[in-house]
Structure 1
Amino acid sequence: MFKNKKSKIDPNMTDTLIGEGTHFEGKIRSEAGIRIEGHLTGDIECTGDVTIGENGSARSNVRARHVILAGQVTGNVIASGKLTIKATGKLLGNLTAQELSIESGGIFQGSSKMETGKEIAATDETDSANSVSPAADAASTAVLKTW
């Protein structure tokens, strides 16, 4: 009845959407892109791209390839590629990126650090060595609320 398809995950495609009117609490890890149009509380680790839409907000530390911010993030952002803060975007936290673009009207409050992709990857490896194992992190659960 169900076929087991082993398809390669494309980091250029968005496969996870937190829709408008949705509140999500918990840590998200994804190999493909993520788009937030609702509200998220919890960290995001993404091999692909993360987009926070105009009505989206995240109280979160975000780690992704590219980050497009048209809504609000309260927390730190690490982009191994480019971080774009749109005219409606607001980042309240520190950032590390290889490339940074802030449109007129965009807000950034924090400190910035520009690094090459290799330096960011080395930081990732150091952070991974010092992080809590997934088994120890099992106590944190995800709660999906829709109002």
Structure 2
Amino acid sequence: MWKQEEAGGGEVERERWVEDKRSLPKGGPILPDEVAFVGKDVEFKGVITYSGTVRIDGALDGEIHTDGGLLVGPEAVLKAKVTAGTVVCQGTIHGDIHAKDQIVLRAPAVVEGSLITPVLSMEEGVVFNGTLEMKPQAKAERLRDVEDNVVSITSRPPVQRLAA
């Protein structure tokens, strides 16, 4: 379908990424093939909203919003606020990442910002500077339900025994 000379090496890059996805730890993200590909020579500023999975190898300055997946290649540089289902990163992200399902950081990733996710996987060699908040979705929803249905309980002082 794609030839190396037509896609500027896109097929070679795609094959390498497929190999990278196969080497994720068991139980890792199951992402469908990407629906869009932003090449390494592409620079984008703005807001991206999409469904499915997108792979970025270029530069992005802005925001990404999706319930699907985001694949950040090793040469990608993102200055962005990211909201996604699953994020798999080998590149550089400066900004906050909120993943509904999971975040996978693979060497040589560099991430600076806050991460919010129920599941985090990080390889040796990754550089992460920021904060991490892990709240499983179901548990957070149960806690919210409990807070809404709190019943006040009054306590009595302990019973004292009298000497006989």
Give CA deviations for 1:102-146 in whole Å, capped at 9, x if unaligned. Answer: 10000110000001224789xxxxxxxxxxxxxxxxxxxxxxxxx
Q: Which residue of 1 aligns with 2:98?
A: 78
Distance (whole Å) between structure 2 residues aligned to residue 119 and residue 69 of structure 1: 26
1:66 to 66, 86, 103: 86
Choose between structure 1 and 2: higher helix proportion. 2
Q: TM-score, normalised to structure 2's length?
A: 0.64
Q: Cα offset for 1:16?
A: 1.8
Q: Secondary structure at the match of 2:117?
A: strand
Q: Which residue of 1 aligns with 2:34?
A: 14
The reply on whether 1:116 has 2:133 as its aligned counterpart is no
Distance (whole Å) between structure 1 residues aligned to residue 124 and residue 74 of structure 2: 15
Matched residue count? 111
Q: TM-score, normalised to structure 1's length?
A: 0.71
Letter matched to residue 111 of structure 1: T
Q: Which residue of 1 aligns with 2:68?
A: 48
Decide which structure has the larger Cα Rg and report it. 2
Q: Secondary structure at the match of 2:101?
A: strand
Letter matched to residue 115 of structure 1: K
Higher mean C-alpha displacement, 112-121 vs 94-103: 112-121
Q: Cα offset for 1:13?
A: 3.6
Higher mean C-alpha displacement, 112-121 vs 48-57: 112-121
The reply on whether 1:29 has 2:49 as its aligned counterpart is yes
Q: Secondary structure at the match of 1:87?
A: coil
Q: Which residue of 2 aligns with 1:99?
A: 119
Structure 2: gaps of 5 or more residues = 1-30, 142-164
1:12 and 1:48 in contact (8 A); partners too: no
Distance (whole Å) between structure 2 residues aligned to residue 120 and residue 43 of structure 1: 25
Question: Is the alpha carbon distance of 1:23 and 1:36 closer, same or farther for their aligned partners in structure 2, counting shifts above 3 Å?
Answer: same
Q: Cα offset for 1:88?
A: 0.5
Distance (whole Å) between structure 1 residues aligned to residue 80 and residue 42 of structure 2: 16
Overall identity of the aligned pairs, in %: 25
Q: CA RMSD in A?
A: 1.7
Q: Which has the higher contact order (CA 8 A, sep 6+)?
A: 1
Distance (whole Å) between structure 2 residues aligned to residue 44 and residue 96 of structure 1: 15
